[in-house]
Structure 1
Amino acid sequence: MAVKLNAKKREDLAKSVTSEIRKSGRIPAVVYGKDKDAKTISVDSVDLVKTVRDEGRNAIISLQVEGGDTVDVMLHDYQIDPIKDDLLHADFYIVNMSEEMDVDVSVRLDGESKGEKEGGVLQQPFYEIQVRAKPKDIPEEIVVDVSDLDVNESLSISDLKVTGNYEFLDDPDTTIASVVPPTTEEDLETDTEADENAEPEVIKEKSDSEEE
């Protein structure tokens, strides 16, 4: 079920008006989609942040535009002030609930691996996986159980279980999690010795005949 978010039409795009919108606690935004005309709106900044925090980045939002239609959208992109960390702008994409779409879904590793208990280090090369699904079937996150993972073992996308009506689009051999042996003092000493014993590169001067 889509979560509701109220919006107001934004027809005057002057910088002064946009500034006033932000001062009032709202942010300018745009709504667009396939074969749809883009519309400029504004939404409450706090409401949008709360919606994304509670429902997830890929949540389906029922955007209720004041004096207009209600459309199902997803938050496609947003801009944040790098200094104040405030939301500056948001892009909403109109979705067709009956059509599949490709989205990035967060990956969360769950549990403590066998390898970590033995002193190994758990690594996570990727924090998102691309998924194809209809909007209502997009998972909030992909949870990966790593409890059986031992040192020098890894999990790839092909090892993941699909628990809903979606499919993974990334290469099945892509590593999602692995446990590597701990770096010991002996390893560090060996690396240092190898660097110290490495022969310097000799630059051979050209002979007169070679220069000619």
Structure 2
Amino acid sequence: MTAVLQAKERKGARNSHLTALREEGNIPAVLYGSKLESKSIYLSGADFLKTIKEVGRNGVFSLDLDGNKFDVMLGDYQSNPLKNEIVHADFLAVDMKKEITADVRVVLVGDAPGVKDGGVMQQSMHEVSVTATPNNIPSAVEVDVTNLQVNETLTVADIKINRGYEINNEEEQVIASILPPRQEEEINSGEEQEAGTPESEEGRETTADEDKTSEE
């Protein structure tokens, strides 16, 4: 059964009107689509969070706007990190038979042997672009790292096999890699080091870009 989120048309656009809506626990939003005139709406913040938690970030649900129902997905949204709340949302009305493109988070699953051997896992991609019909857009793309050894990498080409959707990123883009153990760790543990320079100086820096997608 498709989740249903109730919404009402929003008349006012002034900041004072938007502030008043938020103080009442509502979220100002916009409903749009290829065959739909953009509509200013608002809805319960609590109901919104409940629905997104139920269907997922890229899930399809029914938006009931004053009795008219639309199949929608959550588009962009804005949040207030200080108050930990959503302050605005965009809803895309979709045709269930037509393919759409969405950004989907990448989740690494499994225990990599290279990490057990002291290597450092570095995730270079936290999102991929996916094209599919709305019901086939995944909530996340899981990438299996159980065979990844030190100095090995996984690219987009490695995960394109047997998917029910199309991944649009370039095949040579690196998703994850395992860097060699850091020299500092070898020194601190009292292990002897081999002479010469490590194969990859990048092993000293393991900071990856932070996931820009807010978690549901």
Matched to 1:100, the amino acid is: E
SS at match of 2:17: helix
Larger radius of gyration: 1
Contact 2:29 2:88 in 1 (8 A): yes
How far off its partner does 1:93 sit? 1.1
Q: Which residue of 1 aligns with 2:102?
A: 103
Q: Which residue of 1 aligns with 2:129?
A: 130
Q: Which residue of 1 aligns with 2:17?
A: 17
Matched to 2:47, the amino acid is: D
Q: Which residue of 1 aligns with 2:61?
A: 61
Matched to 2:72, the amino acid is: V
Matched to 1:126, the amino acid is: M
1:134-185 deviation line (CA, Å, top 9, x unaligned): 1011111111110111111111111115454311110011111111101113
- RMSD between superposed Cα atoms in Å: 2.0
Stretch deviating more after TM superposition (54-63 or 120-129) = 54-63
SS at match of 1:159: helix
Change (3 A) 1:36 1:51: same
Q: Distance in 1 between matches of 2:161 and 2:17?
A: 47
For residues 29-178 of structure 1, what are the structure 2 equivalents within 5 Å?
29-66=29-66, 68-178=67-177
Structure 1 residue runs without a partner (length 5+): 192-212
How far off its partner does 1:24 sit? 1.1
Q: Distance in 1 between matches of 2:80 and 2:165?
A: 35
Q: Distance in 2 between matches of 1:164 and 1:64?
A: 32
SS at match of 1:83: coil
Matched to 1:13, the amino acid is: A
How far off its partner does 1:18 sit? 2.2
Contact 1:2 1:72 in 2 (8 A): no
Q: Distance in 1 between matches of 2:158 and 2:174?
A: 10
How far off its partner does 1:78 sit? 1.1
Contact 2:160 2:166 in 1 (8 A): no
Q: Which residue of 2 aligns with 1:194?
A: none
Matched to 1:55, the amino acid is: V
Matched to 1:83, the amino acid is: L
SS at match of 2:135: helix
Q: Distance in 2 between matches of 1:115 and 1:56?
A: 32
User: TM-score when scaled to structure 1?
Assistant: 0.82
Stretch deviating more after TM superposition (117-126 or 30-39) = 30-39
Stretch deviating more after TM superposition (178-187 or 30-39) = 178-187
Q: Distance in 1 between matches of 2:130 and 2:2?
A: 19
User: TM-score when scaled to structure 2?
Assistant: 0.80
Contact 2:77 2:90 in 1 (8 A): yes
Identity %: 41
SS at match of 1:99: coil
Q: Distance in 2 between matches of 1:16 and 1:152?
A: 56
How far off its partner does 1:37 sit? 0.7
Q: Which residue of 1 aligns with 2:211?
A: none
Q: Distance in 2 between matches of 1:5 and 1:158?
A: 38
Contact 1:60 1:73 in 2 (8 A): yes
Count of paired positions: 189
Structure 2 residue runs without a partner (length 5+): 188-192, 198-216
Contact 1:29 1:42 in 2 (8 A): yes
